[in-house]
Amino acid sequence: MTDGLESDPRVLWSEDVLRYRDTDANGHVNNAVFAAFCESGRVQFFATHLTPLLTRDTFFVIARFVIDYRAELHYPGRVRTATWLARAGRTSLGFRHRILTGDVVAGEAESVCVLLAKDTRRPVPLGAAGEAAARLVVGEGA
C-alpha cells in the first residue's frame, strides 16, 4: 500500500534485509529495528537533499520519534521504507515513514529533526536547507 508514494520523486525509498539477529524472543523482528529502518531513510534523505546545503557549524538531531506497528516482520525477508517530508518549519523538519514488506504496511512513523548550532547546541534557522525542504514537502494525502 504505497498510496502514490512510489511515483512521487520527493519520496526517498530505502531497502533493508531482515537479519536473524533482528529477531527477539517472540520470533519476530524487534521493535527497535523498525526505528533503524526509519533512521536509514532519514540519513539518506538528508545526504541526498539537505546536508550539502548546511553550514559546517550546524547539525540535525532527532527531537521526536513515534512508531505505529501495523504488522509483524519475520526473518528472513526484506523491507522497503518510504521517507518523506511532511512539514518544514523554521528550525525543524517533520518526516513521515512507511515500512513495507511486499504490499503489507508493517509500520508507520513520524519523526521531527531540529537543526542545532554546534557551539551553542541551540536551534537555528534552516536557511537554504529550509528553502529546499519546503519544495520537498508531500501533502497530507500520503
Q: How many domains does the chain have?
A: 1
The string of pLDDT tens digits covering residues 1-55 is: 667 788 899 999 999 999 999 999 999 999 999 999 999 999 999 999 999 999 9
Is residue 68, in this structure, part of any structural domain at all?
A: yes
pTM, entire model: 0.92
| Cβ atoms within 10 Å, residue 41 | 28
Is residue 69, in this structure, part of any structural domain at all?
A: yes
Question: Where would I find the beta strands (DSSP E) of the chain?
Answer: 12-18, 58-69, 77-88, 92-101, 104-117
Residue 30: CATH number of its domain: 3.10.129.10
Q: Determine the structural domain holding residue 15 and report its residue range.
A: 2-136
